[in-house]
Amino acid sequence: MTDRLPSPDFAYADGALNAEALPLSAIAAQVGTPFYCYSLAGLTRNYRALEAALAGLPATICYALKANSNQAVIAAFAGLGAGADVVSGGELRRALAAGVPPDRIVFSGVGKTRDEIVLALRAGILQLNAESEAELDLISAAAAEAGVTARVSLRINPDVDARTHDKISTGRKQDKFGIAIDRTLPAYARAADLPNLEPAGLAVHIGSQLLSVAPYRAAFARLADRVRALRAVGHDVRCLDLGGGVGIAYRDETPLRFEDYAAAVRETVGDLECELMFEPGRSMVGNAGILVAQVLYVKQGGIRPIAVVDAAMNDLARPAMYGAYHAIVPVPQPQNSQDYVEMDVVGPICESGDTFAVARSLPPLAPGELVAFGSAGAYGSVMSSAYNSRPPAPEVLASGDQFAVVRARLTIETLIGQESVPDWLEPPPAIRGGA
Ligand code: LLP
C-alpha cells in the first residue's frame, strides 16, 4: 500500500503537490525546509462539519489549543465562532491574544497553579474545569481574594477505556485525570458549599484519537446518570463539557464521523437540557496541516534504503513518542507506482528513535527532493523542541493562492541568546584571548 494524504487541501496539480492553490515548492523556496503548512480551507471545513453535526444542540465549540496554538490558527477558529479550551496560563494568554472572547474560554488541566487560576479569574473566562477537591478549595480561595465568583465544572473520571494509545487515554480509573466518578456527589456538594464558587456542571474527556463511538456513549451515559443523581438531591446542573478526542485518519483508519459522535451525544445527554461544550483539537487541525521536509541523502542501509530528511523528531515527535504513523508523500507527483521501493525515512538526530517510517513504500527519492508528512496539523509544531540545537520549524498558513509565514523560523542566535555563562566560571581559552 502506498501513502496518500487524507486531505483534499493538499493534492497534486500540474505534477506537484499543492497547498490549496499554491505549489509547495514555491513556499519551500521562500521559507526553506522543514516547515509546517496549514490550509485555511481545511481548518474551516473541519470546524463547519462539527458545527453542522451538532446543529440544534445548545453547543459551544471550544477549540483545544493544545493541538495547535499558533495565533493564526486560533484566530481562524475564533473568526468562525469558536471558543477555546486551554490547559495553562500560557494557552490562556494565547487565546486572549488571538481574540477569543473570555466568556468562551474554558480552562481544563490537572495541575493549575494559583497564579494560573488568578489569571483566569481576572480575565473573566467562562469556567474552570476542576480536577480535584483540593483544586476546588484553591479556586474558592483565589476567587474570594479577587472578589469574584468562579464558575466551575467538575471534571469526572468516568472509568471508561477509550481504546486508544495508552499514553493518550485519560478516562480510566488509573489515569491521573478528573475526580473519581463515585466522588461526584460529595465533590459537587463541596463546590456548592464553598464561598465564591458557582458549580455549573460536569466535564469529561476520555482520551484522544478515538475511532469508535462506543466509549463516548458509555462515558456520556455515566455522566448523564450523575447529572440525574445530583439533581435528585437538589443541585443545579446546567452545563456539560464533553471534551474532545474525535479521531482522524492517519493511514487507512476510518475516522470517527462527527454525525455518529453527535448522535451519541443526543442519545445520552440530549434530554438533560444542559448547555453543552465540546473541546475538539485534533479533528479540527490534524488533517489541515502537513510538514514539508527535504531529502538530504539516500543511502543503502544494512537492510533497505534509508532516506535521511532535514526534519527530525524535534519537529514532529509523534512517531518517536507514540510510534505514530504519518503518511509520507513526495512533493513531485510520482509517475509510476511500479518503481516504488520499501525504505526507511529518518531524521538527522543522533537517536535511532528519530525514525519517521520503517519499510515504507515510496518512489525512488533523490537528494534535494521535497517530501510531505501528512496529518501533521495537530500535535506537530506544538510538541516541537530545539533538541540537537535544531531551531523549531516555521509555520505557514495557506489560503487559495496566498500564504503567510505565521511563525518565523527560530534562529540559533535566539536560542543561544537565552542562555548565559556565569561570570564566576573560569573563561575558556578562546574568550581569554589565547590558545
Ligand atoms: N480536552 C482535554 C481536557 C484534553 O486533554 C484534550 C487532549 C483535548 C480536549 C483535545 O483532544 P483531541 O480532540 O485533540 O483529541 N499529543 C497527543 C495527544 C494528546 C491529547 C491530550 N489531550 C498526540 O500527539 O496524539
Residue 359 has a pLDDT of: 97
What is the grid cell recorded at 168? 493518550
Distance from Cα 162 to the centre of ligand 1, integer Å: 12
Ligand 1 within 6 A of CB of 384? no
Closest CA to 45 of 359, 392, 399, 357: 399
Q: How far is the C-alpha of 178 from the C-alpha of 117, rounded, in Å?
A: 17
- Cα distances (Å, whole numbers) of residue 375 to 147, 193, 212, 236, 340: 45, 46, 19, 41, 22
For residue range 16-41, what is the model confidence (pLDDT) as tens digits?
A: 999 999 999 999 999 999 999 999 99
| Atom in ligand 1 nearest the alpha carbon of residue 279 | 9
Residues 308 and 370 in one domain: yes
Tell me the one-letter amino acid at 340. Answer: Y
Ligand 1 within 6 A of CB of 379? yes
Classified as helix, coil or strand, 275 is: strand
Distance from Cα 282 to the centre of ligand 1, integer Å: 7
Residue 176 has a pLDDT of: 86
Ligand 1 within 6 A of CB of 319? no
> Phi, psi (5° rounding) for residue 194?
-70, 140
Which of 231, 254, 282 marks a domain boundary? 282
Closest CA to 31 of 427, 327, 393, 419: 393
- Residue 350 annotated in active site: yes
Low-confidence residues of the chain: pLDDT under 50:
none
Position 320 in a domain: yes
Residues 248 and 344 in one domain: no
Residues 187 and 264 in one domain: yes
Ligand 1 within 6 A of CB of 318? yes
Ligand 1 within 6 A of CB of 280? yes
Residue 434 has a pLDDT of: 55
Give the domain range for residue 391: 10-39+286-417
Residues 328 and 239 in one domain: no
Mutate to test the pocket of ligand 1, among 175, 208, 325 (most ligand atoms within 8 A of CB): 208
Distance from Cα 244 to the centre of ligand 1, integer Å: 7
We report the CATH number of the domain holding residue 295 as 2.40.37.10
Residues 264 and 169 in one domain: yes
Q: Report the domain count for the chain.
A: 2
- Among protein residues, the one whose CA lies closest to atom 15 of ligand 1: 245
Position 5 in a domain: no
Position 322 in a domain: yes
| Atom in ligand 1 nearest the alpha carbon of residue 210 | 15
> Which runs of E-coded beta strand occur in 66-208?
83-86, 105-107, 127-130, 150-157, 179-180, 197-203
What is the grid cell recorded at 153? 465544572
Q: How far is the C-alpha of 204 from the C-alpha of 202, rounded, in Å?
A: 7
Which of 219, 250, 282 marks a domain boundary? 282
Residue 45 has a pLDDT of: 98
Ligand 1 within 6 A of CB of 282? yes
- Which contacts of 167-174 are long-range, i.e. CB under 8 A and separated by 24 or more positions? 167/321, 167/322, 168/207, 168/208, 168/209, 168/322, 169/206, 169/207, 170/205, 170/206, 170/207, 170/208, 171/204, 171/205, 171/206, 171/207, 171/215, 171/219
Q: How far is the C-alpha of 129 from the C-alpha of 106, rounded, in Å?
A: 7
| Atom in ligand 1 nearest the alpha carbon of residue 203 | 3
For residue range 51-73, what is the model confidence (pLDDT) as tens digits?
A: 999 999 999 999 999 999 999 99
Residue 165 has a pLDDT of: 83
Distance from Cα 283 to the centre of ligand 1, integer Å: 10
For residue range 126-151, what is the model confidence (pLDDT) as tens digits?
A: 999 999 999 999 999 999 999 999 99
Residues 354 and 307 in one domain: yes
Is-above-0.95 flag for pTM? yes
Position 187 in a domain: yes
Which member of 37, 62, 274, 350 is catalytic? 350
